[in-house]
Structure 1
Amino acid sequence: MTDPGGQSPRERYRAQVRMEIKQHAWEQIAAEGVSALSLNAIAKRMGMSGPALYRYFAGRDELITALIRDAYRSLADTVRAAFDSGADLAGLARVIREWARSDPHRYFLIYGTPVPGYHAPDDTTAISFEVMAVLLEACGAPPMDEPATPFDAHLENHREWTGRHPAAAATVHRALSFWTRLHGVLSLELAGHFAGMKFDPGLLIADELNALPAR
């Protein structure tokens, strides 16, 4: 027998156990960092044997991939919903900052130091392209009289990170400038580097975006 969503009881149970495993994984990452992630430790906390847990995730890398996929999916859906509701670049920056601040460990899993020995599969990269596609839409077309820069020319043939989006190179340049300015501030903020400086990182982000070139 299946439920209205098309899942059998066994499939529902499997999905629930995988979700619980991922929740324990996030807790472990928060306490010890992603490099210390241990399926055996998670199994012990859940009252399972190691071999039993490996029926749900074949290994550490598969679990990390699931966490990364969930993080990118959450961010991509959040950014798309904000843009479709009328958010401009400044609005998208606020939404991304709120998303990151709500769970810094999730943010750093996808935008922090790469996990040693781990290589993300192509499908996780494809989800990240969805985020950049929204930013490219928000950036719009460049002014017709804006002269091209050497980096614009370089971007004509170096845009794999956009999913080879067809936007003009100047638009790609603007989206990249937005991305690097936002994440530069966000990474420092979430790592606690502004804690003793007594200023509002949100206002710094706003100033950085106001200083974006028109291209």
Structure 2
Amino acid sequence: MTSRTPKATAPPRTPSSPRDRYREQTRAEIKQTALAQLAEGGVEAVALTRIAKAMGLSGPALYRYFAGRDELLSALIRDAYDDAAAAVETARQSCAGRPAAVQLTALADAFRAWALAQPHRYLLIAGSPVAGYQAPPDTVDRARGALGPFVGVLATSPRPAAESGADAPLIAEMSAWAAATPAVREWAARYTGAEASPEAVATGLAGALLAWAQVHGTVSLEVTGQFTGMGHDPAALLHAQTEALAERFRLARE
């Protein structure tokens, strides 16, 4: 069984009038200014009044483009998830046809590279929660975009659920989740293929969850400087983790 190419999503709508185009350009400029503030001082540094001043706009004028800081943060979070997913998907496509163990390492490396290139955006989606902010529900689907390729790779594991040892409870949970949630089955099928067995899907979900925890654990510690002075290369640590997971799930190596 091999993972399948996800269905292509429709391209974003092109603004049809000069006014629409100006609005989209202004929104993009607002987001870029907010990202600069985010890089300088974290989420606490993002302020609509500062953005308006930097852009030469009045405060009320800025509110015509974003209703408030939470709406702006939601836009930045959506963009970050989409870009992270694009980085992982590019890696998936570039190593298509190679052994599953190689693919797993490539996916993890791609996500790490994305996070290190723009740590302020990584921390926006994976750092400490913003006090008083509630992310919109659609960010869950966007987050799954980066995780999906991992599901496809781990679903190629030849391990039947009955022989999964310590992983059996997690696989059982993923099996129940997929069985009870059509949206999860549809999402997983984009990467495993619609013909994948429920057991393969559950194994892929469980393996991807384990991979995700390892990737985020290593990347978060690296991005926040927690490995300083520990005498190792975080890339080597991540490789060791993905190699161990590939061995654990008996992923193909040739």
TM-score, L = length of structure 1 = 0.90
Runs of 4+ in 1 over 3 A off after TM superposition: 158-163
Q: Which residue of 2 aligns with 1:92?
A: 107
Match of 1:164 among 184, 188, 193: 184
Give the whole-Å Cα distance in 1 for the aligned partners of 2:181 and 2:110: 22
Q: Distance in 2 between matches of 1:197 and 1:48?
A: 47
Preserved contact between residue 141 and residue 168 of structure 1 (Cα < 8 Å): no
Unpaired segments of 5 or more residues in structure 2?
1-13, 97-102, 189-199
Indicate the SS of the match to 1:168. helix
Q: In the TM superposition, what is the alpha-carbon distance from 1:36 to its structure 2 partner? A: 3.7
Q: Matched residues in 1 for 2:173 and 2:40: separation?
A: 42
Q: 1:86 to 1:172 in 2, by over 3 A?
A: same
Say what the alpha-carbon RMSD is for the aligned residues: 2.1
Q: In structure 1, what is the equivalent of residue 127 of structure 2? A: 112
| Alpha-carbon spacing, 1:186–1:163, altered in 2? closer, same or farther (3 Å) | farther
Pair 71,145 (structure 1): closer, same or farther in 2 beyond 3 Å: closer
SS in structure 2 opposite 1:157? Answer: helix
Structure 1: tracts of 5 or more residues without a match: none
User: Could you tell me which residue of structure 2 aligns to residue 209 of structure 1?
Assistant: 242
Decide which moves more: 136-145 or 183-192. Answer: 136-145
- In structure 2, do the counterparts of structure 1 residues 145 and 16 end up closer, same or farther at CA, with 3 Å as the change threshold? closer
Question: Are the aligned partners of 1:133 and 1:162 in contact in 2 as well (CA < 8 Å)?
Answer: no
Report the TM-score when normalising by structure 2.
Answer: 0.77
> 1:35–1:116: 8 Å Cα contact kept in structure 2?
no
Aligned residues: 211
Q: Which residue, 38, 52, 66 being the options, matches 1:29? A: 38
- Other-structure match for 2:137: 122
Distance 1:15 1:35 in 2: 25
User: 1 or 2 for the larger relative contact order (CA 8 Å, sep ≥6)?
Assistant: 2
Please list, as runs of the form range in 1=range in 2, the aligned pairs for 1:187-202 lying within 5 A after superposition.
187-202=220-235
Partners of 2:57 and 2:105 lie apart in 1 by 47
The aligned residue for residue 100 of structure 2 is none
Q: How do 1:6-17 residues align onto structure 2 when only pairs under 5 Å count? A: 7-17=16-26
Once the two structures are TM-superposed, the CA of residue 118 in structure 1 deviates from its matched residue by: 1.1
Larger mean CA deviation between 76-85 and 160-169 belongs to 160-169
Quote the sequence identity (%). 45
